[in-house]
Amino acid sequence: MTRWLSLAALVVVIDQVTKIVVSRAIAYGNGIEVAPFFNLVLVHNKGAAFSFLSSAAGWQRELFIAIAVIACVWVVYLIRKHPQQTLFCFALSLILGGALGNVIDRFALGAVIDFLDFHAAGYHWPAFNVADSAITCGAALLIWDSLQTREKPLS
Distance CA 104, CA 121 (A): 34
Report the alpha-carbon distance of residue 88 to residue 2 in Å, rounded: 15
Instruction: Catalytic residue, from 105, 114, 117, 145: name it.
Output: 114
Distance CA 63, CA 129 (A): 20
HSE (CB half, 13 Å, CA atoms) of 62? 3
15 is a catalytic site residue: no
H-state helical runs in 26-59:
none
**AA letter at 135:** I
Catalytic residue among 15, 105, 117, 132: 132
Of residues 3, 29, 4, 12, the one with CA closest to residue 108? 12
Residues belonging to the active site: 114, 132
